[in-house]
A and B are shown apart, each in its own frame.
Chain A
């Protein structure tokens, strides 16, 4: 199972999907485009807290994708 983790006010919201299920993959891809379109950055989480990888395109084979809201200066 793959998982998309979206940071939000509740801490995070998790969406699991089966990479072998084309319909679930389509929904996950739509979510990816919707969130990145809103300014979220998608990060493929690395192992053991490593830096991971910034995702420019949707990849259904990434196990865990974290969506970080747009940054602002404080």
Chain B
């Protein structure tokens, strides 16, 4: 695992968490040499003026410089910035999709809560909501793919799974072949736990469909794979003993 790339991801995770949907553009990376009190540090500068810092270990830095043959500060900064911008772009895309997905599920949870107190909407109301009549359409702004994925997932969970997911952001699935219990957490990878009969985690599994799908599609594919072709799915999956 590339230590510097991991540090960059941690920095970006922090920045994205703090800025929500208003995450800004990565403008620069700053490498600070080791001083009397601190070791070398890496800083990310964003267009809104926000800066995030993390410590670099000398060995990570050395390995990175060797790998990229970057032996002066300027070339190191250039190489780092190029790699960082690629990582950040991917994370930003996933972050926006994630927010869109959460908002959708917050609406679902709200509808479920209201549904306990109100009479169920008529068929016409449901259809009108779906096509966006009289309210914002599900598909009319950014994150269309995430919304479509969320809708497909929502349509294909059992009522119990839907309720569980809206409340806890995971849902349980029974393996079609073995009858084992799996918990699919919200996410696109490393998001499946196998549980024992007491609900305790036995191990994790990581598999997902090819094609860079949105989280809703990935989770739905994982659900059907475990229910309908469990052995094949686990054959391609990586087993994770700890996170």
Chain B residues lying within 8 Å of A39, measured Cβ to Cβ, are 210
Given A5-B152, A71-B221, A74-B208: A11 touches B229 (CB 8 Å cut-off):
no
Chain A window 42-74, contacts with chain B (Cβ cutoff 8 Å), 1 for yes, 0 for no: 010100111111100000000000101111111
A21 within 8 A of B: no
A12, B207: Cβ atoms closer than 8 Å? no
B43 within 8 A of A: no
Which of under 10, 10 to 19, 20 to 34, or 35 or more describes the interface residues of A?
20 to 34
Q: Told that A11-B148, A74-B206 touch, could you supply 15 new A-B pairs with CB distance under 8 A?
A: A5-B152, A9-B145, A11-B152, A49-B156, A49-B162, A66-B156, A68-B209, A68-B224, A69-B209, A69-B210, A71-B208, A71-B221, A73-B236, A74-B189, A74-B238
Chain B residues with a Cβ under 8 A of chain A: 144-149, 151-152, 155-159, 161-162, 176, 189-190, 206-214, 216-217, 220-221, 224-225, 227-229, 232-233, 236-238
Chain A residues with a Cβ under 8 A of chain B: 5, 7-12, 39, 41, 43, 45, 48-54, 66, 68-74
Closest 10 A/B residue pairs (Cβ): A11-B148, A49-B158, A74-B206, A51-B227, A69-B209, A74-B189, A11-B145, A49-B157, A73-B238, A54-B228
Report 13 cross-chain contacts, Cβ distance below 8 Å, ordered by A residue.
A8-B213, A11-B144, A11-B146, A11-B217, A41-B229, A43-B228, A49-B156, A52-B228, A54-B228, A71-B209, A71-B225, A72-B207, A72-B208
